[in-house]
Structures are given as C-alpha cells and as structure tokens.
Amino acid sequence: MILFFYNLALLAAFVVTAPWWLFRTASRRRYREGLKERLGEVPTRVARMREEGGLPVIWLHAVSVGEVLAVSRLVSELDFTFRAYRLFISTTTATGQALARERFGVSRVFYCPLDLPWAVSSYLDALEPRMLILVESELWPNLLNSCFRRRIPVTVVNARISDRSWPRYQAMKLLWKPLLSQLSAVLAQSEVDGERMTALGCAPQRVLVSGNLKFDVRAAEESDATLLLRRLAVNLRLVVAGSTLEGEEALLLEAWPRLLEADPNLVLILAPRHPERFSVVALRVARSSFPWVRRSDWPSRPEFALAPLHPGEVVVLDTIGELASVYSLASLAFIGGSLVPAGGHNPLEPAQFGVAVVMGPHYANFRAIIDDLLVHKAIRITAVEQLAETLGDMVRDSAEAEAMGTRAREVFEREAGATERTLRVLRPLIEARRR
C-alpha cells in the first residue's frame, strides 16, 4: 500500500513539474541526454551484447563520477572472477555515463531508468539479471520492489547514508522498511552507516562493515593532462583545487595572491565539479588579473606550440576523468564542495599520492574518512575566512605539508581492502544463482 502512495506522489510531482522539465529538455542538451533510455528504451548496443553468448547478467548501478571511480576496481575484479557472467553498468548522470563508457566500454553501459514501473520493467525484461548491485545510497522503491517480485537478489556495496540524507530517510521509514528488509547483503562504509541501514529496516545479520571502496582506487595510468603538465610546469609547484562548486573559485582566486606571496613559483589548477560550469569558471578566471589557460585548448594546438606555464598562472581543468591523475603532481590539494554547504568531496584521490589536503568546514558526505584523517593529523580543515591564511601556511611550510601528505598516504594504505571484503560476500551470493 505504501508503494501505491509513493507512485501516486511521483505522478503528482510529475504533473506539477512537467512544464519546468519540458522547458529544460527543450532548452538544454544535458536534460535530453539519454532521455529515451531513462524512460525505458533499452539501447540497441546493450540488447545486442546481452544476446551475445547468452551469458547470465549482473547489473551494477553507480550514480555519477564518484561512484564510478569507487567501483572501478570492483568491476575489474568481478569481470575476472565471474567470467561466465556478463556485467552491465548503469549511471544516472551524464558525467558518470561518460566516465563509465570510457572505463568499462560503451556497449555495456547505459542510463539507469527513472524509478517508474514500466521503465524499470523494460530493463529487467531485457537484462534478466541474476543480481542487482547498488552503489552507496542509490535506493529506488520501484526498482527494489520489481527485483524482489522477480526474485532477483539485490545487494548494496559501499553503502552510506550521509548526515544530510539521514533525516529524509528516517521520515520515509515506513516506505523503506519492507523493501530494505529483503536486501541480500548490505556492505557499509562505516559503523555509523551500518547502524543507519539497520535502523531503516535492513536485517542486522545481513549488514556488514566492509570499509570504503574508494580506499582501493588507484589511478591506473597518467592522464593526458598529467603528461602535459609534467612537461609544461617544470620547476613549478602545483596547487590543485579539485571538484570546486559555485562560489569556491572566487574565494580561491581571492586567496591566490596570498599564496604567491608565500611562494611565487606556484601554478593553480582549478577543476570545477560540473561540466556545465566549465565556461562560467573560465570566464571568471579570464576576468581576473592572472594569466590563465584552459586545459581543453591544449589538444587543439600542435604539441611544439604549447607554451610552458608561468609562475602565478591559472589552469582551468575543463575535462572529465583527468583530475585524479593530476593530483599526483600537486604540492598541495584543496578539495571542493567544502567551503559551501554541499557536504564536500573525496579527499582520498590526493591522499593516495601523499599530497597534503586542505578542506573547508562542510564535509558531511565524507565524515568517516575525514575524521580518520584528522585523528592522524593528515588533513587541514579551514574556515572560509581563514582560507588564504591556511593555504599560505601550507605552501610556506613545505616540510609540514610533505609530512602531512605522508600521513595521509599511510591512512589510505592502512584502510585498503574493502574490495576484497566485498567480493568475499558477493561471491557466494552470485554462485548460488548458478544452481
């Protein structure tokens, strides 16, 4: 009955917001991207791969870039371990879709259908998955219910419920409890996440703390941007500001002169979180007094024509999937989404390279990871009004920054192993479906 009211609410919301969605779809390409797939049209490439070989299917769903990166090693291990299966991967966002296609191959990647009964049924009919693996907190009532009605086991890996999301989940506990109680396994990032999943209705014996898959992610190879920066920034120190959101670039540019006072031999790499903001950020940098360049301009020029970067220059990293590798060149990293109340982004990408990390006060999305780093003095948290001072101090005291980066890498290495623990749980569940 509760699912009926959920679908009724979905229908009402669709009717009310239809004019807005129609306008957005007509005026912005990103809202049209993958729309047919989201509404239940299974792409021909996916249907064709499903038919090839007649192999049983595992469906893994990751929302966006962060989740795709988090499960990249898990996907490789599943491919290797379960060669008699075909693994398909879905995403929700366009950026996640682009990265997943690049990493896993276009033919087995698609947009996840909207949580509408007919759209979900279309994919379940076409794929007939033996298991659905959901990443983090991507829980959808119709998708779950449709799987359970077909006796398709569902597991959640790298499960987490952020501080910001927790009140919303609690408010809808009546909806979640009958669904979450049927999950085959929940592999939580932390004890808190496990307790929250149990409180919402998951069977306690099926909830395990496996750790964070992001601790197992290594940059597989250097990106083109990294190779170029290595050549163009000789004898310069890089400050990499990654996954920045609206308002943060202005604060970083305001702080930039203070950093150059501490060390004039710096280059700032600005990497906005969302591709739709690349041009906006580039315009903001262009209006500043600093020399600057867009990363996307580099491939269009003959290699010999690329000018070396100069001290004080700003590089707008307006590409997808290159930031993780670029962190390897950093002397100091700033993690965006943390100066504004957006919950922060992942500090582990620079930590794996032994890079000192600075974040703002808003980091609820990665609280467990950051608390661990704070205990080991492996990260600096700064108030907005102290951003320039904190970054300047870190630039000035390179020995302390290096020591902090070393401690961060030690935390990263010590927490590794979530992929192996996840596979230990998934293996018997998947093998049981063969019988």
Task: Find the mean pLDDT for residues 200-217.
Answer: 93
| Reported CATH class of domain 31-211+417-432 | alpha beta
Q: What is the pTM for the complete model shown?
A: 0.78
Question: What are the boundaries of each domain within the chain?
Answer: 31-211+417-432, 224-414
Q: Is the pLDDT of residue 209 over 90?
A: yes
d(CA 388, CA 318): 24
Please, are residues 186 and 159 in contact by the beta-carbon 8 Å criterion?
A: yes
Rounded-to-integer distance, Cα 193 and Cα 161, Å? 6
Which amino acid does the sequence have at 143?
A: L
* pLDDT number for residue 231: 92
Residue 31: pLDDT band (50, 70, 90) is low
pLDDT band of residue 7 (cuts 50, 70, 90) is: low
Report CA 194 to chain centroid distance, whole Å.
20
* pLDDT number for residue 269: 98
What average pLDDT does the segment 106-131 reach?
Answer: 95
pLDDT score for 6: 74
How far is Cα 209 from Cα 96, in angstroms, rounded to an integer? Answer: 26
State how far the Cα of 324 lies from the Cα of 311, in Å rounded to an integer: 23
- 245-259: per-residue pLDDT in tens? 999 999 999 999 999
For residue 146, the model assigns a pLDDT of 96
Report CA torsion sign: 317, 322, 324, 329. Answer: negative
Q: Which of 37, 67, 138, 248 is catalytic?
A: 67
Residue 323 has pLDDT above 60, yes or no: yes
Contact 194, 158 (CB under 8 A): no
What string of H, E and C letters represents the secondary structure of the chain? CHHHHHHHHHHHHHHHHHHHHHHHHHHCHHHHCCHHHHCCCCCHHHHHHHHHHHCCEEEEECCCHHHHHHCHHHHHHHHHHCCCCEEEEEECCHHHHHHHHHHHCHHHEEECCCCCHHHHHHHHHHHCEEEEEEECCCCCHHHHHHHHHCCCCEEEEEECCCCCCHHHHHHCHHHHHHHHCCCCEEEECCHHHHHHHHHCCCCHHHEEECCCHHHHCCCCCCCHHHHHHHHHCCCCEEEEEEEECCCHHHHHHHHHHHHHHHCCCEEEEEEECCHHHHHHHHHHHHCCCCCEEEHHHHHHCCHHHCCCCCCCCEEECCCCCCHHHHHHHEEEEEECCCCCCCCCCCCHHHHCCCCEEEECCCCHHHHHHHHHHHHCCCCEECCHHHHHHHHHHHHHCHHHHHHHHHHHHHHHHHCCCHHHHHHHHHHHHHHHCCC
Among 169-173, 215-219, 372-376, 424-428, name the one with the lowest average pLDDT: 215-219
What mean pLDDT comes out for the span 179-200?
Answer: 95
Which pLDDT does position 239 carry in this prediction? 98
Q: How confident is the model at residue 301 (pLDDT cuts 50, 70, 90)?
A: low
How many CB atoms are closer than 10 A to CB 417? 13
* Average pLDDT along the chain: 91
Task: State the architecture of 224-414 in CATH terms.
Answer: 3-Layer(aba) Sandwich (3.40)
Distance (Å, rounded) from C-alpha 234 to C-alpha 263? 15
Burial of residue 382 (CB within 10 Å: 0-12, 13-18, 19+) is buried
The CA-based angle 229-223-348, given to 5 degrees, is 95
Query: What is the biggest distance separating any 2 CA atoms in the chain, rounded to whole angstroms?
Result: 67
What local confidence, expressed as pLDDT, does residue 434 receive?
66
- Which tokens go with 381? 């948290």
Q: Which amino acid is at 190?
A: S
Cα-based angle 137, 141, 147 (whole degrees, multiple of 5): 100
Res 230: pLDDT: 94
Phi and psi angles of residue 322, each rounded to the nearest 5 degrees, phi first: -105, -15
Angstrom distance (rounded) from CA 4 to CA 392: 56
Task: Please list, in sequence order, all residues whose beta carbon lies within 8 angstroms of the beta carbon of residue 389, skipping any fewer than 6 positions away.
Answer: 258, 382
pLDDT reported for residue 319: 92
67 is catalytic: yes
Same fold, 31-211+417-432 and 224-414: yes
What pLDDT sits at residue 29? Answer: 60
The pLDDT of residue 8 is above 80: no
Measuring CA to CA, how many Å separate 388 from each of 169, 249, 391, 396? 37, 13, 5, 12
How sure is the predictor about 23, in pLDDT bands with cuts at 50, 70 and 90?
low
Beta bridge partners of 185: 155
Taking the CA atoms of 336, 342, 343 and 345 in sequence, report the sign of the dihedral they define.
negative
Q: What angle do CA 335, 401, 391 make, to 5 degrees?
A: 50
